[in-house]
Amino acid sequence: MKFLEMLRAAQERNGSMLCVGLDPEPRRFPAALRGDATRIGEFCARIVDATADLVIAYKPQIAYFAAHRAEDQLERLIAHIRKVAPHVPVILDAKRGDIGATAEQYAIEAFERYGADAVTLSPFMGFDSVEPYLKHEGKGAFLLCRTSNPGGDDLQNQRLASIEGSPLLYEHVARLAQGPWNLNGQLGLVVGATYPNEIERVRAIAPTLPLLIPGVGAQGGDAVATVRAGWRPDAPIVVNSSRAILYASSGDDYAQAARREAEKTRALLASARP
């Protein structure tokens, strides 16, 4: 099934816009696992088992695995998601961006090695750095557009005077992704929940693209304002929360606590749907 169809099906089946971000930090694990990088996969698998009926997607962040030489655990974790939640798409958060020849390798890593359904990318190096991912039929690619961090302003909110209408950089990225770059309907955009006004602006420019919206939970983004700004009946929004769910409890009940937090966030998002 194509990524976008999977996303729509998971949204429908689990009644959810919530994506659980898998950003495992061994020093934050419960006492029985704390500090043990060999148990990263196990920690995440218990979170998946506890939330598989509550989410639209999972988003493992590759750095949290690679930093601990745990890429093999990431491979096994994604295989585990396939087994226990075959209806839930996996977005590999890798934020890649490189020349075409190298991008081809990154695309193989994301889609063949890890078997992800979609990947996050930086559009900074231009279309030829994005195109290799689009050659993988049915796979998705989310381009960073207006990110959740304060430093996102440094570049993304700069005006491009040489382009007609003098758009801001993030507006231009949204225009390219909605239009000329979106060859086979595989593109989506990343917009931070910490900037609901910009989500609204991106939605106006890119009405049919899926949006990946991180920043609720630990970063304090406004879940209700996010849904009001981004929700469309035919273009899914994928609202990510990582730390607030993974570390809802530091005790042995962490998976049940993660489930409760995921239920709460899913309900809050649903309540804001127009």
**HSE-CB for 10 with a 13 A CA cutoff:** 28
* Cα distance between residue 118 and residue 92, in whole Å: 6
Nearer to ligand OMP, 155 or 166 (CB): 155
How many residues lie near ligand OMP (CB under 6 A)? Answer: 19
By CB under 6 A, tell whether 240 contacts ligand OMP: yes
Which class for 27: exposed (0-12), middle (13-18), buried (19 or more C-beta within 10 A)?
exposed
226: contact with ligand OMP by CB under 6 A: no
- Residue 271, helix vs strand vs coil: helix
Q: In the complex with ligand OMP, which residue's Cβ is closer, 14 or 148? A: 148
Min separation Cβ 240 and ligand OMP, Å: 5
123 binds ligand OMP (CB under 6 A): no
End-to-end alpha-carbon separation of the chain, Å? Answer: 29
Q: According to CB under 6 A, which one of 4, 33, 74, 190 is a site residue for ligand OMP?
A: 190
User: Which one of 95, 135, 139, 264 is the catalytic residue?
Assistant: 95
219 lies in the site for ligand OMP, by CB under 6 A: yes
The residue within the footprint of ligand OMP, chosen from 14, 61, 73, 129 (CB under 6 A), is 61
- Least spacing, CB of residue 162 vs ligand OMP, in Å: 26
Q: CA distances (Å), 36 to each of 40, 50, 66, in order?
A: 7, 21, 14
Our answer to whether residue 139 is catalytic in this structure is: no
Interface with ligand OMP in residues 17-36 (CB under 6 A): 21, 23
The torsion region of residue 138 among left (phi > 0), alpha (psi -120 to 50) and beta comes to: left
Distances 217 to 130, 136, 149, 197, 232 between C-alpha atoms, Å: 30, 33, 14, 18, 22
Q: Give yes or no for residue 242 binding ligand OMP (CB under 6 A).
A: yes
Could you tell me which residues are beta bridge partners of residue 240?
Answer: 19, 214
Please report, for residues 78, 107, 114, 168, the alpha-carbon distance to residue 102 in angstroms, rounded to integers and kept in the order given.
23, 9, 17, 29
Binding span for ligand OMP by CB under 6 A among 40-48, 213-221, 224-232, 249-257: 213-221
Residues that bind ligand OMP (CB under 6 A): 21, 23, 61, 93, 95, 120, 147-148, 190, 192, 214-215, 217-219, 240-243
Catalytic residues, by residue number, are 95
